[in-house]
Amino acid sequence: MPSLTASSPPARESVGPTPFERAALPLQAKGIPVMAELVYDENGRLLFTKEMKEEYTILFPTMLPVHFGLMARILETEGFHVEMLTTNHRGIVDEGLKYVHNDTCYPALLVIGQLIDAVKSGKYDMHKVALLITQTGGGCRASNYIHLLRKALEKAGLSYIPVISVNLSGLEPNPGFKLGLNTLRKAVFAMMYGDIIVQTANQVRPYEVSRGQTDETIEAVETQLLEAMNQGKGLSFKSMVANFDRIVAAFKAIPVAGEPKVRVGVVGEIYIKYPPLGNNNLEEFLLSEGAEPVVPGLTDFIIFKIYNREVDVNIYGGKWVKKKVCQVLKGYVEKCQRAMIAAMKKGGFRAPGTFEDLRRLIQGYLGEGNKMGEGWLLTAEMLELIHSGTPNIVCTQPFGCLPNHIVGKGMIRKLKDDYPFSNIVAIDYDPGATKINQENRIKLMLANARGLAKQEAERREAGEAAHV
């Protein structure tokens, strides 16, 4: 098989090569033997081989810091060398603009920019690194991120770096990156644990007496969960339920004080909704403004993606076996979700609704065939927030994302007509959007929220006085 290496840097008269140029030198030139041969499939795709598993560091972008942090540590126990990127600076956007057309959605630009920025940083051996990215396998442009990434690597002279796809559609298998059933089960558990950790932590962090105690508790809980899983414990449904109770108790034990704050829901395109890099540290900003962020979990999105496969069979036809498998998987994840909800309620925390609750809420607004991007789920999340006492909502959207503009910004008028007390603002994120303009619009929404809360308090007081 052919071997690809970067070309050597041009000669210099008075100075040596830059750190980036030294990193780009072929390993042979640096006296380091190349052990893993570059292997390609019949379509010319560079594979991640078993030999690479031993030698390479796998980098992947941040989306959900807690969830992905758990997954990174699980992969390490499977013998992979992995690192979750937490970088957040303007240089990432600049790198993305070099290799991704500005008409491509903003998340693609950030994901690819963060990965290439990391490769160029000089921190890693560029010939011993692989990049990992998720694919939805649907109609969203997220399914094309992997192709855009390979194109960007080729343009940057880094086409010898393998790219690994993680997806639910069986796309692009790699001989060196195979996850067994036990690992997949751990992944499901990590997703559930991540959701209950984040959702309980978000209800405590705005009120913690000792600043930073919530984050310390998150780290301690993660360590305990992973240690148990590495010992083969906590991998049954019964033990997961017990862990839910322990997690809730850990956050319940954090001392809190202060009056209830204005709750602000955060919805939108999945990448912009979650990571600080995507939304300009939105949750941190809301906390600094005296608000309590309420962010829907990942579980509903996962169930949504599984359920969409079932919907495809119902609408377009297909094998009943595929539908049955999806129903079984969906049923198991929903069972886990119900247990998580029960644990939160028992511990005195506000719990989200179930996926079936979301399906009921969306009736009369959008059909289940509307499933590109976040599809009907985005609107359903806004409805759930409104119904659960969080009518103040920030709808985060990458500029130019057609699906999310339809089910996000496009549905706001209908929601406000049906729920006049709702207070929803759509915020666009793109390379040219300034943070100060985004924050000023959110500040205006918060001012409206506090005004509405004051009016509601006065209305209640007047009603109570009338009954005296």
Q: Is 34 in the same domain as 174?
A: yes
Cβ(262)–Cβ(394) below 8 Å: no
- 3-state class (DSSP) for residue 100: coil
What pLDDT does 136 receive?
Answer: 63
Cβ(237)–Cβ(185) below 8 Å: no
Cα separation of 210 and 219, whole Å?
16
What pLDDT does 12 receive?
Answer: 39
Cα separation of 345 and 352, whole Å?
9
What pLDDT does 182 receive?
Answer: 80
Single residue among 178, 205, 232 that ends a domain in this structure: 178
Q: What is the pLDDT of residues 367-418, one digit of tens each?
A: 988 888 889 999 999 999 999 999 999 999 987 787 888 888 899 999 999 9
What pLDDT does 276 receive?
Answer: 92
Q: Is 25 in the same domain as 148?
A: yes
Cα separation of 229 and 12, whole Å?
53
Mean pLDDT of all residues in 85-94 = 91
Structural domain contains residue 210? no
Q: Is 41 in the same domain as 168?
A: yes
| Residue 113's pLDDT band (cuts 50, 70, 90) | very high
Residue 332 makes CB contacts below 8 A (sequence gap 6+) with 188
Helix axes 106-120, 145-155, angle to 10 degrees: 40
% of the chain beyond a pLDDT of 90: 52
What pLDDT does 4 receive?
Answer: 37
What pLDDT does 144 receive?
Answer: 73
pLDDT at 203 over 60: yes
| Residue 92's pLDDT band (cuts 50, 70, 90) | very high
Cα separation of 24 and 6, whole Å?
6
Cα separation of 66 and 295, whole Å?
13
pLDDT at 32 over 60: no
Q: How many domains are contained in the chain? A: 2
| Residue 104's pLDDT band (cuts 50, 70, 90) | confident
Q: How far apart are the first and last CA of the chain?
A: 87
Cβ(438)–Cβ(312) below 8 Å: no
Structural domain contains residue 53? yes
* Mean predicted lDDT score pLDDT of the chain: 86
Residue 238 per-residue DSSP state: H
Cα separation of 446 and 453, whole Å?
10
The alpha helices in 363-434, defined as continuous H runs, are: 376-387, 402-404, 410-418
pLDDT at 230 over 90: no
Structural domain contains residue 329? no
Cα separation of 383 and 387, whole Å?
6
Cα separation of 148 and 372, whole Å?
19
In this structure, what CATH number is given to the domain that contains residue 284?
Answer: 3.40.50
Residue 52 belongs to what H/E stretch?
Answer: helix 50-55
Q: Is 276 in the same domain as 152?
A: no
Residue 50 belongs to what H/E stretch?
Answer: helix 50-55
What pLDDT does 166 receive?
Answer: 81
Q: Is 139 in the same domain as 276?
A: no
Q: Is 43 in the same domain as 148?
A: yes
What is the torsional sign of CA 217, 220, 223, 224?
negative
Mean pLDDT of all residues in 414-433 = 92
Structural domain contains residue 28? yes
What pLDDT does 358 receive?
Answer: 96
Spatial strand order of the sheet with 81-84 comes to 81-84, 57-60, 129-135, 163-167
Cβ(289)–Cβ(446) below 8 Å: yes
One DSSP character per residue, 156-194 reads TT-TTS-EEEEESS--S-BTTB---HHHHHHHHHHHHHH
pLDDT at 15 over 70: no
Nearest to 132 by CA among 85, 98, 90, 182: 85
| Residue 14's pLDDT band (cuts 50, 70, 90) | very low
Structural domain contains residue 8? no
Structural domain contains residue 143? yes
Q: What is the pLDDT of residues 448-464, one digit of tens each?
A: 988 877 777 777 777 66
Cα separation of 132 and 421, whole Å?
43
Cα separation of 162 and 160, whole Å?
6
What pLDDT does 401 receive?
Answer: 80
β-strands 291-294, 262-268: how paired?
Answer: parallel
Structural domain contains residue 162? yes
Structural domain contains residue 137? yes
Nearest to 452 by CA among 318, 276, 257, 262: 262
How far, in Å, are 66, 179, 197, 243, 266 from residue 192 at the CA level?
A: 11, 18, 9, 11, 19
The alpha helices in 294-401, defined as continuous H runs, are: 299-316, 320-346, 355-362, 376-387
What pLDDT does 8 receive?
Answer: 41
pTM of the model: 0.86
Q: Give the domain range for residue 291.
A: 263-297+352-468
pLDDT at 447 over 90: yes
Q: Is 268 in the same domain as 170?
A: no
**Structure-block tokens of residue 54:** 């031993």
Single residue among 141, 162, 178 that ends a domain in this structure: 178
| Residue 9's pLDDT band (cuts 50, 70, 90) | very low
Residue 317 phi/psi, 5-degree rounding, is 90, 170
Q: What is the pLDDT of residues 153-191, one digit of tens each?
A: 999 999 999 999 886 666 778 888 888 778 888 888 888
Single residue among 125, 148, 178 that ends a domain in this structure: 178
